[in-house]
Amino acid sequence: MSDGYALFDLDHTLLPYDTQALFCNFVLKKEGWRRVYLLWYLPLLPLAGLKILSLRFTKRLFFSYLFGMSRDRLDKYVAEFLKTDFDSSLYPEVVAELERNRAEGRTLILNSASPEFYLGPIAKKLGFDFYLGTDMGIGKTVSFLPPISGPNNKQGAKIDAMRERDLIPPDVDMLANSWAYSDSSADIPLLSVAEHGVMIHPGEKLASVGLEKGWRTLTPSRPYEGKWGARMASLAQAFGFYSLPKPE
């Protein structure tokens, strides 16, 4: 293992979208009939907002749009998605940070709550040394409620996962010569474990913590305005109606 690490979140960090919603948008444009999942997903979504349904179950329910799809077809869609919608959506400024850390010899770790069936190919595409995500069981075909093994990889679970897999030392509170990148206050543990933190379009809570800790801020251009713009983009993607901006 190297003397330093670069730890990256994925959604709204390497790109301005929730990758789960962006991939859903991609699939629904291919197979529009899969919008039927909205018949049960949308009525139950308010229960998630009220925390009556767990985030874990809500994630499983969302991925019911893939119900019955073969693993071969899913992998084909992931590969095509990475070459098209995902690739065109990446923040150049954050990718430049990834390449800087690579050039400076740090171990690159992609650490996200996203399911590993597409997180692994993303990590390979971008040249990460390791990746950690949510272990969602797919099998030969996708079940109605794909099972999740282990924790939903969020908040402190990200640090636990890196230590359990011996990717970072178990007895070090702060990794020297290391950088961490995220947009979310849920990733304060991830940002805090590295010597240098970088916030991507932070909200008020994260910005306040970052100011105290001296973390840097990056604000790359986004195809929408603010928090509500991001939510509306995700909503349109969940329906399969979102059109990516054309490259300038």
Put simply, whether the predicted model's pTM sits higher than 0.85 gets the answer: yes
**pLDDT confidence of residue 248:** 62
Divide the 248 residues of the chain into consecutive groups of 10 and give the mean pLDDT of each group: 88 98 99 98 94 94 98 99 98 99 98 97 98 95 95 90 94 94 97 98 97 98 95 98 86
The whole-angstrom separation of Cα 142 and Cα 139 is 7
Looking at residue 246, its pLDDT comes to 79
d(CA 5, CA 77): 31
Separation of alpha carbons 26 and 61, rounded Å: 18
**DSSP structure string for 1-36:** --S-EEEE--BTTTBSS-HHHHHHHHHHHH-GGGGG
Q: What are the b/e assignments for 126-145, b being 16+ CB within 10 Å?
A: bebbbbbbbbbebeeebeee
First to last CA, the chain: 40
Query: CA torsion, points 68, 146, 228, 77, in degrees to nearest 10?
Result: -50
**The amino acid at 33:** W
Per-residue pLDDT, 202: 97
How far is the CA of 50 from the CAs of 44, 66, 76, 247, in angstroms? 10, 25, 36, 39
Strand 148-149 and strand 194-200: pairing? Answer: unpaired
- Is the domain spanning 5-239 CATH 3.40.50.1000? The answer is yes
